[in-house]
Structure 1
Amino acid sequence: MTWDEIWSLLRQGTVETLQMTVWATAITAVLGALLGLALVVTDRRGLAPVPAVHHLLGLVVNVGRSIPFIILLVALLPFTRALVGTTIGTTAAIVPLAISAIPFYARLVETSLREVDPGVVDAARAMGASRVQIAWKVLLREARPGLLAGLTVTFVALIGYSAMAGAIGGGGLGDIAIRYGYQRFENTVMIAVVAVIVVLVQVVQLLGDRLVRRLSHR
């Protein structure tokens, strides 16, 4: 292959990879944060202790985190087809990417929320804040640096997962690496794909770290 052809493939693959990971990260940021918040709130020392619900949510999160992504990818094919009408392409890949990342991020959210100073929560209670106000305006607000750091880690993980989605026609850089680098023995393409993925990870991590530092200094 010529370099013009390789660059064309890389541009297309990079756009598709970013589409998958950005959308999956956005979905994960919302649902993962809600799930992590629910884990903290329903704990026996939480704002609204419901041990049965807490244990059930914890079980769901643990099961979701324990399933290897490539297995989850295949197992969710019927659900993906029912939800988006297809099992191939970038749109279809967003479904398993988000589902795999939600429990992962939920645990990071839970950890960040538990690190919030209990004194801040007690002060909010003393001022008459409701449990909903404490959850949204105290816990989530105080934990923003940790939440963003966790989301950065999740985004980076999703870039790697998106490469695996190429194994079943998910598109993106992983699909290019498999179809051209592996099946056609184009080592140059394989090396170029790996280089682009490394650059993407470095850029995302750098931007995430800078945003975390800004939030931490406020």
Structure 2
Amino acid sequence: MHYLQHAHAARSRRWHPEIYKRLCRESIEGISLLNAARVEPELGTPARGGLPATIAERTTEGWRLTGHKQYTTGSPILSYFVVWARTTEDEPQVEVFWFRATLPGLRIVETWDHLGMRATGSHDLILENVFIPSEYALNIGPISAAPSFDPLISTWGSLTVSALYLGVATSARDWLTKYLWERSPSNLKEPLATLPRFQTAVGEIEALLFANNRLIYSLGSRY
């Protein structure tokens, strides 16, 4: 998610150059992670349209945000959030904001407790009258405006997520092969790894991992 947001920021014309330079510098010099907070209890994901319930009220010096986001991956350790909100005009527009996780009025509610995915820390983000300076507003437009499609961003998203899944599958393979060599049932008196059925299963896994690896690295080189 951090890499995906960086890709969006790098190719966007809406980011203030000095602000983006600071983000890159912080990301290199220390742990400075960012991710988007988009999903809401009422709306779900805004990827298919719809107005977010999070409100952005304009002030003389910037904006004030109030709302509730869900499934904010990495929230306990993020340094920055990218948030979608609706304006308070008669014909609301959608605005995207980037801001530091330490702002007053921002808090994380630990609602995420999914077996096998607890480490993602995808908790709820609560915004209560959080002030955002004007230069941190990244994009604004009517809800009817179709989002621009960037094929390189789409490719990068597919590449990074696929690489993540390949890493998970490779780790599972490593665990399995170690277990098959360590486990020796008393009735077999040999490791499970010596059985043809397990050798065939591991071979099928290897073939799939090899194909996935080639596809991902090929896509990476073309990108």
Q: TM-score, normalised by structure 2?
A: 0.33
Return the structure number with greater relative CO, CA threshold 8 A, min gap 6.
Answer: 1
TM-score (norm 1): 0.34
Please state which structure has a larger fraction of its residues in helix: 1
Identify, as 1 or 2, the structure richer in strand.
Answer: 2
